[in-house]
Chain A
């Protein structure tokens, strides 16, 4: 069944093409457009389900093998490239060769040693040669889809959550004149996102990457008649360009280093490259840096996060699908996909962890003071993405993906819930005008409740499992030396998250019904679409529950947000290891995570980059030969010195490994409870407290309320400088270039005047002088010659004849006369 995955991206594309190309011309009804869109996504979801089942769990399951569609034999050549020279990573490659020869020699020596000698250990001298050979490869990029653990999860999330959101959107966008356009863009987005996560090489990921960027731009600017939407779309596009630049450079680096873009080949080669500990900038660190810049742009990490809150100018389903559930997790997908490259560079792992933690706290503190319900959710998304980056940075890639999944459930749920609220409130987004909606929108309230508990991290909702695992991974990490700082920052951010989410709940669903007394200053600009609500009978806007097409997806997502976390249940609850076999997401993802200690993929399932098990491939020398003793319970840290480790310190106090994790779980639950209690205290129990504390912490409040002036800073540092540069260029253009043109024109005019003068006075003068000379002096002579008398002409002729005779016969005549005279005289 998994051989049909090529249909998965194709179906949304077909739906989008039908809707987009024919929807307007043939005047499709909303029902038809929605049917085509939802149908195509539903079909894609079903195919995905069947494919993943047959790939991983069915009778013919090939997990953990990687399935690439080009394995089937047909030609999938997309870009037939030319020869590529390896211009980068030559020293690393030669070190790999040296290490391999050393390992062979070591194995030979070990075989000859006696057991005592083995225990003592021995030294060997390795011939270190600089055999950096000039190698080249043929770059032939194929268009093929790859099905493995990572892409399965992303395909399921994208199509599954996407399906819910599509259904929701048919209700939410009801009555919008651009209905067909909306669903065409959404379908195109689904196609691009699926190409992104299903492509088997970096270039396909790049195509999907740019495709989702384009669709994001189109959909943020969906209400293009609104200036803030148009500006937000441009802002998102331009900010993403910065990240894409880094991504493109990283792809060039990959091609120059590995000569291919196919994941399996690249990672198979990279797995043997030497590690680059903290502070070493080898080629893989640079590639990882480029990839990370790309991930920062797409996943809205500091300092490229500025576009995501503004992106809320788009319709709410777009915010849910693109800017919460799927597209912004593309950075996480890339990080996890290229975890081999990242794990080679301890520097970049540290950078990822620190940036993720900083973003998590930064965005969470902004979220506390925002009043727009979608803005709060947007900053919450940025914060949660920071958590995911944190997980990747501390080496827990599977947990990061786990959080991507749970976040997709509960954040899509909350965005759709917010959309339902906005719909019910007649396009009111300001939480200060809401309150007490529990009574009016029971379904929305109940589902939102599930999302709230999930994001706050309350056991047993999905968010708890993933976020707790992230914090535990940060505390116990052996990858980066700053794990304890990351844990502290993450814990504070989690507290803030619980606080602002409780605030959102309180301001929206609980408490006083503020919309009743605020009707008169209801801003008219908020009613943009949905003219059917603008009837005069709606003088006082009473919120109403949304139609089933909107709350049913909410219910589905609420169920997922509640129970979705059990696929990654914490080992602390199950006796210290991940239970459930492949059904556990950590085990499921294990074969795609590279292990820097064994230099193979996976910790439980040791496989190569194609997913083949070690009995099929030659087992690595380090694991088979060097470890004569049984494998340690805890392998040495991958990068040598690991620095202060919070979990180890705690473990040395409580003396039990599982108990250590329980301690951290309790801390995590406590801070979540603290945040929620504070929120309840501030916004339910004593509603006067927020103003008091805002006044007390005025500078902090202002900084948070104004989003730390990042936009202003960028406006000053980037936009203004760009404008200055543009102005300078314009000045140069108008002064120097135009001046040169005008100057040359003036010079030409001057030159023409000079030549004109010369012409008039010198050339004409000469001609006139000659004419005058001829006229004045020569003409009397010539005129005199022309007498008009025939005889004069005849005389001239005779004279000419005489002259001719004298000339020709003069000598003869003279001699004749001489002879004559001589005879006579």
Chain B
């Protein structure tokens, strides 16, 4: 398992510390101007996995909410990265991903409001926000 983590993260670290030997700030800027798509995708995937793991493992419903936000933001990151990548490759009209990200943020805000409302209602009835104590789906 450790070996696997090492094998996965080593390239990531490698990416970060690859160009250290060259003119550092210029390179960073250069990188910032022309980001590498795969790095964004990897970060998005990591975010998604963290979110999923949170949803599946955490017992506090608030934390689960936060994990869901993570998942949504992972999706946003992918949208924006793809949009930017497409613009880099010359298609200046590829703004749909950015617009989608805005939509997702709005929907997530609404969802958070409703979800928190549900949590409050739940708490009023059950006096708990631990999901393993809420098993009324099984009747």
Contact = CB atoms under 8 A, between A and B. Distances in A.
Interface in B80-133: 131-132
Interface stretch (A289-297, A592-600, A787-795): A787-795
Main secondary structure of the interface of B (DSSP, over half): helix
A787 B11 contact: no
A820 interface: yes
A798 interface: yes
B137 A788 contact: yes
B137 A790 contact: yes
Given A790-B137, A793-B137, 11 more contacts: A786-B138, A788-B139, A789-B131, A789-B135, A789-B138, A790-B134, A791-B55, A794-B56, A798-B56, A820-B11, A824-B11
21 contacts: A786-B138, A788-B136, A788-B138, A789-B131, A789-B137, A789-B138, A790-B134, A790-B137, A791-B55, A791-B56, A791-B57, A791-B131, A793-B137, A794-B55, A794-B56, A795-B56, A798-B56, A821-B7, A824-B10, A824-B11, A824-B14
B50 interface: no
Nearest to A791: B56
B62 interface: no
B132 A789 contact: yes
A787 B131 CA distance: 12
B52 A798 contact: yes
Contacts of B134: 790
Q: How many of chain A's residues touch chain B, expressed as a range?
A: 10 to 19
Contacts of A791: 55-57, 131-132
Contacts of B131: 789-791
Interface of A: 786-791, 793-795, 798, 820-821, 824
A793 B56 CA distance: 9
Contact of A787 (B55, B57, B135): B135
A57 to B, nearest CB: 123
A786 B139 CA distance: 10
A73 B137 CA distance: 107
B21 to A, nearest CB: 19
Contacts of B57: 791
Contacts of B56: 791, 794-795, 798
A232 B136 CA distance: 101
Contacts of A790: 131, 134, 137
Contacts of B136: 788
A788 B135 contact: yes
Contacts of A824: 10-11, 14
A790 B137 CA distance: 8
A243 B82 CA distance: 119
Give 8 nearest A-B pairs by CB, closest first.
Answer: A788-B138, A788-B135, A788-B137, A795-B56, A786-B138, A789-B135, A791-B56, A798-B52
A804 B139 CA distance: 30
A296 to B, nearest CB: 102
Nearest to B61: A790
A410 to B, nearest CB: 118
Contacts of B52: 798
A786 B14 CA distance: 45
B39 to A, nearest CB: 14
Nearest to B7: A821
Nearest to B53: A798
Interface string B1-42: 000000100110010000000000000000000000000000
Nearest to B57: A791
Nearest to A793: B137
A789 B138 CA distance: 8
Contacts of B132: 789, 791
Contacts of A794: 55-56
A790 B55 CA distance: 10
Nearest to A801: B52
Contacts of A789: 131-132, 135, 137-138
Contacts of A786: 138
A786 B137 CA distance: 9
Of A790, A795, A824, most buried by chain B (CB within 10 Å of CB) is A790
A788 B131 CA distance: 10
Given A794-B55, A794-B56, A795-B56, A787 B10 contact: no
B56 to A, nearest CB: 5
Nearest to B138: A788
Nearest to A820: B11
Of B57, B135, B139, most buried by chain A (CB within 10 Å of CB) is B135
Interface string B54-67: 01110000000000
Of A787, A791, A793, A795, most buried by chain B (CB within 10 Å of CB) is A791
Contacts of A798: 52, 56
B72 to A, nearest CB: 15
A789 B134 CA distance: 7
A794 B52 CA distance: 9
Contacts of A787: 135, 138
A819 to B, nearest CB: 12
A795 B52 CA distance: 9
B33 to A, nearest CB: 25
A821 B136 CA distance: 48
Contacts of A793: 137
Contacts of A821: 7
A788 B132 CA distance: 9
Contacts of A795: 56
A794 B51 CA distance: 12
B5 to A, nearest CB: 15
A791 B11 CA distance: 33
Nearest to B58: A791
A151 B38 CA distance: 133
Contacts of B139: 788
A575 B3 CA distance: 165
B19 to A, nearest CB: 17
B38 to A, nearest CB: 10
Nearest to A790: B131
Contacts of B7: 821
B86 to A, nearest CB: 21
A598 B52 CA distance: 135
A632 B49 CA distance: 149
A821 B132 CA distance: 41
Nearest to B133: A789
Nearest to A783: B138
A791 B53 CA distance: 10
A103 B11 CA distance: 142
A815 B11 CA distance: 17
Nearest to A795: B56
Contacts of B138: 786-789
A791 B138 CA distance: 13
